Chain A
């Protein structure tokens, strides 16, 4: 083969599109004996690259695909496995401890347990409805009364993990709340609505009313996170 194909003549190890190399190719062209037309371009041009490039792209796509699936799976796994640890922390909370962190580096702790007996649903509610907390469980919105207390207690969670069950929740369904002191309170679902995320009236505290407000994103099947709509379920204390 010609000198051009040898590795040393591709100073950057890049086998395409490098003008400097082409310039060199032009200069050295005189010393190369003329080749047959058919072999000409396949020899001069690195013909290995289409197949290689395809395989390389395929490998990259494979990697990216696995990474994405891993990422998606990790989010789900994290959400469900952590509930077990939070459950243990809740047991200790019921035993009288305060602010029990489910794992040593956690910056949140369980504040209540909610359950929907009809659906066999049980969730441990964490302090704070910020992104860090609700990756692991439903989060209690700071500044609203704790679930089970008087007033409008607001809880947020992801529509594709802990609050996926909200879409099947019907009016009249009963929700049970267990407080940190072991006391319980029952609520009945009164309705649901879809609101824009700016509708902060759902966080309001109407005097004399005790309810749970469960918030998740809407629509339930949207592929991406970050939409402007929220699905809000309201349950009044019985």
Chain B
């Protein structure tokens, strides 16, 4: 109106203003009538409601609604609200060729007035060899010692009670660890440094480094039996340590995200690179003094709620074909051998395949994950050939198959399967054993290749039982795991694939589905390299003892302890279909490596643990424990049976001051839905009452307006 008045000629200034006011008055009047009616109506409703409510409260005594949890560091557990320290993590990772060495620095800060003990459950790569612990208090550094697990815990408990600052690192799963820190002073902090070494994944010509940041909430099957830890789940008859592997989880909608992580990766690839990228986090890269690159997060830091991945591809012609590293340490010689068998295109004539797709539709898959899994599955179904047979199994609290038995992959069946998949919903538990029982039948049939493709986030706590099930029911099937989502359980993915004599792949985002599934299809459709044998020139103890079958693009990686310095040649041979493949690697080509003894020991420990699971010749647990203890203690390694512990000699907490203890809450992995993971109460109301009320109100307004319009003076109606 103002614009109009200014822009127009001078004459009509006053009249529109008065008209406007009059109109406004009428509208206000109409609203007032409506509002009065509404208030009267609402009053009646409330009056009735109040009566009804009073009536209903006479016999039933409702409890007070639970107070919404407030504050970022307070989380309710079974025994009340507890305080936990805040944890910040800085990871510095040095990559040299195919080996990475990392220092993970966790700072435990106590914002409270009380003395605190913090317990933090965190992930590391599934092949991490954790060999150092340092506790830093101000300027002082206390080195951690490796101890038998119970002895380490006893030493920690002792220090905790007597007021000494102490840190303990225990392994829950090969990719899940717990740090306990005792006696963090009020408003003070304790820094815990953990070091590990690992070999990186080299697949289809690319290296990848994964740094997991959060343990996704695991599904715990079985009946409750007790509580030894502080997790949200009790221990059960199927997962004896469930309470230790289920740290409290923050609901991002209520508490936001926490546990910031900073990353610094120094990459010395040794070859020129064609490509370097981080698919899930924006990064900044600069040249380092040593000629390598330094990679950091573009944002500086990120909440610990999804895996970080760095991938790099050597420039054409620089892809390593074979590499041999040796090292002498502690009077022993160690070697690391990597051989890349030549890539070979898919064989022209292929056996018909029977493909069983298994898709995880549990609550943890809800949101981004199920969308990725469905897209991958649709792609895989479309890829089937007319001579193939297939079936689809979905599982959550129950498992069901699309067909009773595998059916021909003709267009009609494929289309029906895709429609069925599209309708799947992610909800409920993760009863993986039911699905594996449906998918694996233990049968052998040389006339076809049977492949099981398993799409899941692996968020379960009963991994070992599942690996045993896979081994016992595999028959001549092969199991391929596809890890879905922002924080898949890498231990489950790799070990289930190993137990199923297949291979694993990860899909972390919807736009990776095509590329990653493409790589998987190439592996599924190309001949496998089998019967791999490595002849060393002298006496060696090499792990793994039997090199697994290799799929297209996968290298042979073997760690060895040598009786004497390496001379002569290493002969590597295998079969691809009917064709013999063989290569020679002169010992003279060996380069110096670092920390190879630790890698060898880690590989040996894993092989020993695996040997326990084998159904036919399963080693007795006590013998495995003894063997693992020997090797872990000798190489200063954290394992299922050994922990690192650091204790400050000087007592810090006065004996009259109490110590509070709390589990550090973890983030929900990005893209997950809290209610779908932990269950949610149904939403039990419609808007019908509101619709009726708002509708009546609007009708009243309409009547008011009509009445007003009718009473507009004739002079106003016609000019």
Question: Is A157's CB within 8 Å of the partner chain B?
Answer: yes
Give B234 Cβ to nearest chain A Cβ, in Å.
11
Question: Is A222's CB within 8 Å of the partner chain B?
Answer: yes
Residues of B near A85 (CB, < 8 A) are none
B3 touches A223 (CB 8 A): no
| Contact with A196, one of B68, B703, B719 (Cβ below 8 angstroms) | B68
Question: Is B717's CB within 8 Å of the partner chain A?
Answer: yes
A143 touches B719 (CB 8 A): no
B709 touches A72 (CB 8 A): no
- CB interface residues, B 214-241, toward A, < 8 Å: 223-224
Question: Is B66's CB within 8 Å of the partner chain A?
Answer: yes
| Contact with A223, one of B48, B224, B679, B693 (Cβ below 8 angstroms) | B693
| Contact with B52, one of A129, A139, A217, A220 (Cβ below 8 angstroms) | A220
Question: Is B348's CB within 8 Å of the partner chain A?
Answer: no
| Contact with B688, one of A142, A160, A230 (Cβ below 8 angstroms) | A160
Residues of A near B694 (CB, < 8 A) are 65, 68
With A19-B7, A42-B719 in contact, is A225–B683 under 8 Å at CB? yes
| A-B pairs under 8 A by CB, number | 256
Residue of B nearest to A47 (CB): B719
A75 touches B691 (CB 8 A): yes
Question: Is B53's CB within 8 Å of the partner chain A?
Answer: yes
B45 touches A221 (CB 8 A): yes
Residues of B near A223 (CB, < 8 A) are 689-690, 693
Question: Is B697's CB within 8 Å of the partner chain A?
Answer: yes
B684 touches A54 (CB 8 A): no
Question: Is A121's CB within 8 Å of the partner chain B?
Answer: no
Residues of B near A48 (CB, < 8 A) are 717-719
Give B3 Cβ to nearest chain A Cβ, in Å.
6
A68 touches B701 (CB 8 A): no
With A47-B717, A48-B717, A62-B702 in contact, is A221–B49 under 8 Å at CB? yes
Q: How large is the interface on A (under 10, 10 to 19, 20 to 34, 35 or more residues)?
A: 35 or more
Q: What is the predominant secondary structure among interface residues of chain A facing chain B?
A: mixed
With A51-B709, A170-B60, A200-B680 in contact, is A45–B19 under 8 Å at CB? yes
Question: Is A73's CB within 8 Å of the partner chain B?
Answer: yes
Number of chain B residues whose Cβ lies closer than 8 Å to a Cβ of chain A: 79
Residues of B near A68 (CB, < 8 A) are 691-692, 694-695, 698
Question: Is A81's CB within 8 Å of the partner chain B?
Answer: no
Residue of A nearest to B59 (CB): A170
A51 touches B712 (CB 8 A): yes
Give A189 Cβ to nearest chain B Cβ, in Å.
9
| Contact with B695, one of A25, A41, A69, A226 (Cβ below 8 angstroms) | A69
CA distance A222 to B62 in the complex (A): 17
| Contact with B397, one of A72, A142, A159 (Cβ below 8 angstroms) | A142
Most chain B CB within 10 A, of A143, A220, A232, is at A143
A53 touches B683 (CB 8 A): no
A222 touches B397 (CB 8 A): no
Give B329 Cβ to nearest chain A Cβ, in Å.
52
CA distance A220 to B223 in the complex (A): 36
A164-194 Cβ-contact flags toward B at 8 Å (1 or 0) = 0001101100000000000000000001111
Could you give 5 example pairs across A and B, Cβ below 8 Å?
A19-B4, A51-B717, A61-B705, A193-B63, A226-B685
Residues of chain B having any CB pair with chain A under 8 Å: 1, 3-4, 7-9, 11-12, 14-16, 19, 22-23, 26-27, 45-46, 48-49, 52-53, 56, 59-66, 68, 223-224, 251, 396-397, 423, 425, 427-429, 678-706, 708-709, 712, 715-719
Given pairs A64-B695, A195-B66, A221-B689, 8 additional interface contacts (CB within 8 A)? A47-B719, A61-B701, A66-B699, A142-B397, A194-B62, A216-B685, A225-B687, A229-B65
